[in-house]
Amino acid sequence: MNFLRRALRRKFTRFEKGRSLVGVSSWDRDTLPEGDEKKQAVRDMFDAIAPRYDLVNRIMTFRLDVRWRRRTVRDLALPADSIVLDLAAGTGDLCIDLREAGLTPISVDLSYGMLAADRSGAPRVQADILSLPVSDGSVDGVTCGFALRNLTDLDAFFRELARAVRPGGRIALLDVGIPKNRVIRFGNSIYFGKVVPRIGAMLSDGAAYRYLPKSVAYLPEPDEMVAMLQRAGFDDASHQLLSGGLTQLLLGTRA
């Protein structure tokens, strides 16, 4: 653990020097990045905001994020001792909930900073979740919280989930949503687009919390994501809106 912390401090020192040379961070931009540029920007951004990520999440969601994660674990509906990959695991919140439900979580994240800040105690793996370091059909389930919009290829991701999850295994994928109710949608757009970036700027990295609301544009329509999951091998894939559509949950069973 001490080695991990020392390595992380060196990484952040190099990161801050590089950012000061160019004047702005790679995610501080008006347009949304694509492809490899997006992957690098996402990794650097989460490295940067990892130390205060949990604090900002609790404040900006009024602790609703706790309820959403518990719902995700409940609807995953796997028996005790099932092995579950928590992808883009961040600081390990979902891993904690999975363990409390009697499951065996493994934390996977692209961001070294997030893995270093992980407090779940679950085994940790740094990896690109589009190419998981597990054998075919080797895990019972997968969870993923608020990361679908950060991926470069959702179709490839869903196919990778189908490869890794055993037949009969389950997936539960949580992300932000767009409310159907016009009043809720308008209020959410103001809060998410104007207030959240200010909270982020006060407590963490302003550019990151300006990028995150805009990144919702990466997500396909719910029906399209369900169809993608079905094509990948999750025949019963379904979509649910939580808290009036503030978040959305994709569920499926590996055929």
Whole-angstrom Cα distance, residue 167 to residue 195?
A: 43
pTM of structure: 0.87
Q: Percentage of residues in the chain with pLDDT exceeding 70?
A: 91
User: Is 31 strand, coil or helix?
Assistant: coil
Q: Cα Rg for the chain, rounded, in angstroms?
A: 18
* Mean pLDDT, residues 218-237 taken together: 97
Sorting pLDDT into bands at 50, 70 and 90, what band is 21?
very low
pLDDT at 149: 95
Residue 10 pLDDT more than 90? no
Q: pLDDT tens across 107-127, in order?
A: 999 999 999 999 999 999 999
Assigned CATH topology for domain 1-255: Rossmann fold (3.40.50)
* Mean pLDDT, residues 131-155 taken together: 97
* Mean pLDDT, residues 243-250 taken together: 96
Q: What are the domain boundaries of the chain?
A: 1-255
Sorting pLDDT into bands at 50, 70 and 90, what band is 12?
very low
Answer yes or no: are the C-beta atoms of 252 and 75 closer than 8 Å.
no
